[in-house]
Amino acid sequence: MDKEERAIVTVIGQDRVGIISGVATVLAEHNVNILDISQTVLQEFFTMMMVVDLKGCRVDFNRLQQELVGKGASLGVQVQLQHADIFRYMHRI
């Protein structure tokens, strides 16, 4: 697959029911495929990361970002969508 389409969704906040489902629903509605998920609980904070593929995404990056942030707000957690290059570039040569 085309690596350039990879992005990372991070969710940070208080753990509660429905976080993964809420975020995954937004992604599915726009045909965004989830490639990988991991989650940890650090000092009572729920941290989830998803590697997603935006290749088939039917809305533009900003719109998807806004919807995810909005979903996060309704769940009481902070959601971010960032292009994967930022992580690759910062930590890899």
Partner 1 sequence: MTALFSSSEVLETIRMVQAENLDIRTVTLGISLRDCATSDLNTTCHRIYDKVRRKAERLVPVAEEIEARFGIPIVNKRIAVTPISLVGEPSGAEDYLPLSETLDRAAAEVGVNFVGGFSALVHKGFTSGDHALINSLPQALSQTERVCASVNVGTTQAGLNMDAIRTLGLIIKETARLTAHQGGLGCAKLVVFCNAPEDNPFMAGAFHGVGEPECALNVGVSGPGVVLAAIRQHPTADLGTIATVIKNTAFKVTRMGELVAREVSCRLGVPFGIVDLSLAPTTAQGDSVAEILESMGLERCGACGTTAALALLNDAVKKGGAMASSYVGGLSGAFIPVSEDSGMIRAVEEGALTLPKLEAMTAVCSVGLDMFAVPGDTPAEVISALIADEAAIGMVNKKTTAVRVIPAPGMKPGDVVEVGGLLGRAPVMPVNNFSPAAFVARGGRIPAPLLALNN
In terms of CB distance, is 10 or 33 closer to partner 1? Answer: 10
- Residue labelled with tokens 């045909």: 31
Cα distance between residue 83 and residue 63, in whole Å:
14
Contacting partner 1 (CB under 8 A), which of 35, 55, 58, 70? 35
Contacting partner 1 (CB under 8 A), which of 29, 41, 56, 61? 61
Q: Is residue 88 a contact residue for partner 1 (CB under 8 A)?
A: yes
DSSP for residue 76: T
Counting beta carbons within 10 angstroms of the beta carbon of residue 33, is it exposed (0 to 12), middle (13 to 18) or buried (19 or more)?
A: middle
Where does this chain bind partner 1 (CB under 8 A)?
A: 6, 8, 10, 12, 35-36, 38, 40, 47, 49, 51, 61-62, 65, 80-92
